[in-house]
Amino acid sequence: MACRWAEIVASRQSKVAESQLTAISQMRTRVPPYASFQVRGMANKCALVIVAGPAAALLAACSLTLSSGKADLPPTLHFQDEPGGPVAFQSGQPVPTFDRQPRLRAELDGQWRFDPEPLDSNLSLRDRKASLKGITDEVGTRAGVIYDDSSWSKIQVPGTFNPPPNSNTTGGFYRVEFPLPAVWSGKFAMLKFGAVRYVADVWLNGHYLGYHEGGDTPFALDATDALIPGAYNNLVVRVDNPIWGTRDDIVPWGLADWWNYGGIVGDVWLEALPAMSAVRADVTPHLDGADVSIVLQHRGTGSVAAKARVRLWPAQVTAANRLNPEAGSLVPADAEPLLDRTIDVGQVRDESVFRVAAPFSIRSADLWSPSVPALYALQVTVIADNQPADELFTTFGLRQIRVDSTAPRLLLNGAPIAFNGVALHEE
């Protein structure tokens, strides 16, 4: 069966074709929720998709003639064996939570400056050991602390540099200057991005912090040594968004069902951390409790006596907190903890990362479902040398999803359930 790319593009004009292309997009390689990795040298083959429904149709999606990808950019995610178990690391630091926390924070969303430039995607997708010099030559003096960007266009962050129907801009340089209060002095700091499409390289006050590939996942970079508390700071981001259909070493390489928008498309913020902190808390739910894994980090000098206090709270969504991004806001003021335990971690040496297990069981738990989305809030308080040092909140629901062994159906909490649709990306 023969088909042409132009025919597929034209077919997007109809609602039926949109639903068909959604089925195609469900087959593309995805990335985990906390860091991205890429599959290189993807084979481009014809895919035959049968679309059922009132407007059942047969759609042939044929391969494109693409330039062979030569990318060797290493993924920023890897796992390290640490005390307590393996820990995910990204760009040299344990992968943090991206939930809003009760910590000192500097919001960097808003109006930035943007300089559109045709960037070299071969440099973007090469190992930085080989390509950083070329990328540094591209950015030139733009990353410097003193630079006149007044001639650059204004752009909103988060946002995109190529809203439809503009497909001419495929990359460029973002720049923003922001004041940082002196209260940040002596603190550790992480620079966090909600999402950047598709390859990002980041400089802070002229210091190269690192890179990230993949536009659907958040990432964080250590900004401690580059920040200047009590002064103005300059942040520069080089963003390259290769044109779909020109390479076979990006994800997706083509045949996707949404606009290939590029830019800093997620929130950007700085988050201050104490020397001893809770990096993240991961909850694996069951019907009668959950497995909880907490990652702690000590970046200070010398050892400290560390403890982790873990509390489980009932969460309640109200009109007052519905739009509040902090998980702790869901805990009613008069609530009593359902669980309150303190784990003695012992003496923790400097520059260390470790995991702490805190499983729990709960009787007559309120289970999560689409009709009754019951939530719980987990609070972790880090105690260093008998003093509270850091706090972390996250929310979760207790539920179980499995495939029925006796029939072709899904079970939620033991009962059959039908899903009416699947969301593959934010919009």
Domain residue ranges of the chain, discontinuous segments joined by +: 5-61, 77-273, 276-401
Instruction: Tell me: pLDDT of 261 over 80.
Output: yes
The enclosing H or E element of 10 equals helix 5-11
Least confident interval from 67-71, 134-138, 394-398: 67-71
Least confident interval from 41-50, 109-118, 233-242: 41-50
The enclosing H or E element of 340 equals strand 339-348
Confidence at 13, pLDDT banded by 50, 70, 90: very low
Answer positive or negative: Cα dihedral of 328, 329, 330, 333.
positive
Q: pLDDT value at position 9?
A: 34
Q: If you compute the radius of gyration of the chain from its CA atoms, what whole number of angstroms results?
A: 24
Instruction: Tell me: pLDDT of 342 over 60.
Output: yes
CB 278 within 8 Å of CB 389: no
pLDDT digits (tens, 9 = 90+) for 86-142: 999 999 999 999 999 999 999 999 999 999 999 999 999 999 999 999 999 999 999
CB 262 within 8 Å of CB 119: no
Task: State which fold the 77-273 domain adopts.
Answer: Jelly Rolls (2.60.120)
Instruction: Please give the C-alpha separations between residue 130 and each of 75, 90, 241, in angstroms, as whole numbers.
Output: 15, 20, 20
Residue bearing the bigger pLDDT, 208 or 421? 208
Instruction: Tell me: pLDDT of 34 over 80.
Output: no
Plot region of 122 (φ>0 → left; ψ -120 to 50 → alpha; else → beta): alpha
Concatenate the DSSP letters of all residues of 186-254 into one string: T-EEEEEES-EESEEEEEETTEEEEEEE-SSS-EEEE-TTT--TTEEEEEEEEEE-PPTTSBSSSSS-S
Instruction: Tell me: pLDDT of 20 over 70.
Output: no
State whether CATH 3.40.50.12780 applies to domain 276-401.
no
Residues 6+ apart with CB under 8 A from 295: 87, 94, 278, 279, 280, 281, 282, 353, 354, 355, 356
Share of the chain above pLDDT 90, in %: 75
CB 93 within 8 Å of CB 295: no
* Arithmetic mean of pLDDT, 12-26: 37
Pairing mode of beta strands 376-384, 339-348: unpaired
Q: pLDDT value at position 70?
A: 76
Could you check whether the bond before residue 165 is cis, i.e. omega within 30 degrees of 0?
yes
Average pLDDT in the chain: 85
Q: pLDDT value at position 286?
A: 95
Same fold, 77-273 and 276-401: no
For residue 158, the one-letter residue type is: P
Q: pLDDT value at position 16?
A: 32
* Arithmetic mean of pLDDT, 15-38: 36
